[in-house]
Structure 1
Amino acid sequence: MKSGLMKKRDDDENTGEIHLTPMLDVVFILLIFFIVTSVFVTEAGIDVNKPDASTALPRSQDLILIAVSGDGQIWIDGEQIDGRFVRSRFERRLAETPNASVVIQGDEAAENQHVLRILEAARDANITSVSISTEN
């Protein structure tokens, strides 16, 4: 009988403890969730040397970033595409975000014909806001 009373007292003492392990698990899961879902800077796909400009204005809308390398390669959303498919890519992106504007990140060494091909594709896709990214 005496041993039964001792066992009951031990159970009563354990009920007042707070276990921190589940709480720490939840905190770490929330931390991972916020790190993974944070906003990342979108890039066109390659680094280009942008030309300098004295009248540069910042843009803050839904942007379609397109990069043109010095040797004429065209990149959209980190993926190299053929210049013939730029218009279809613009139309697909406009279906997702109708008010999107195009920002062309052209390398200093890029030929004008590549940039003009992109401008023509934007016009054909009915994009009204097109700008060229420069260094300040």
Structure 2
Amino acid sequence: MRFRELRRVQAEPGMTALIDTVFLLLLFFALSSSFVMQVGISVNLPRTVSSETAVRKDVIVVVARDGRIFVNNEEVPFDSLWGRLIEELRVQPEGALILRADRDVPHGQVVRVMDVAKQAGAGRIAIATEPARKDEIPGRPAPPAEPKR
């Protein structure tokens, strides 16, 4: 007596659905992230653990190491800063003011620029920083020193 051979159907995952899902995730992350390239004046920013990226509609104020002040990449004397900030904030009322002060600039000068910005009507002032390296995070022990050979 001969028995019939049973053919088993192998179930395979559909590659099309997997590729579609991966593509949608890639598209989502690409569109949801915002990158802002700030070019112009070279500034050594202080480091911080958390930082947010600036939006294009923000007013960028840079205080360079030598004390010069720039508003949206144009040099502005301190005496004219208030008027210039009023103009910029009138054009971009919903934006924040991003203060990019060199870490070597005296604290008092940064505070004076912040005061002028508040008087000019800046509702939100953010201080730009660089992300801290792991060995610079407060409260985290320093990595052990490598032995000298």
> Is 2:123 the counterpart of 1:128?
yes
- Structure showing greater radius of gyration is 1
Residue 78 (structure 1) shift: 2.1
Alignment equivalent of 1:98, drawn from 87, 93, 102: 93
The residue number in structure 1 matching 2:64 is: 69
Name structure 1 gaps, 5 residues minimum. Answer: 1-39
Alignment equivalent of 1:60, drawn from 55, 61, 80: 55
Moved over 6 A (4+): none
Matches within 5 A, 1:105-120: 105-120=100-115
TM-score by length of 1: 0.63
Pick which of 81-90 and 59-68 moved more: 59-68
Residue 41 (structure 1) shift: 4.5
Alignment equivalent of 1:47, drawn from 42, 45, 64: 42
The residue number in structure 2 matching 1:78 is: 73
Residue 63 (structure 1) shift: 0.7
TM-score by length of 2: 0.58
- Number of aligned residue pairs: give it: 96
Quote the RMSD (CA, aligned, Å): 1.8
Give the direction of change, closer, same or farther, for the CA distance of 1:84–1:42 in structure 2 (3 Å limit): same
CA distance in 2, matches of 1:76, 1:108: 18
Q: Is the 8 A contact 2:97 2:122 kept in 1?
A: yes
Name structure 2 gaps, 5 residues minimum. Answer: 1-35, 132-149
Q: Is the 8 A contact 2:44 2:103 kept in 1?
A: yes
Whichever structure has more helix as a proportion of its residues is 1
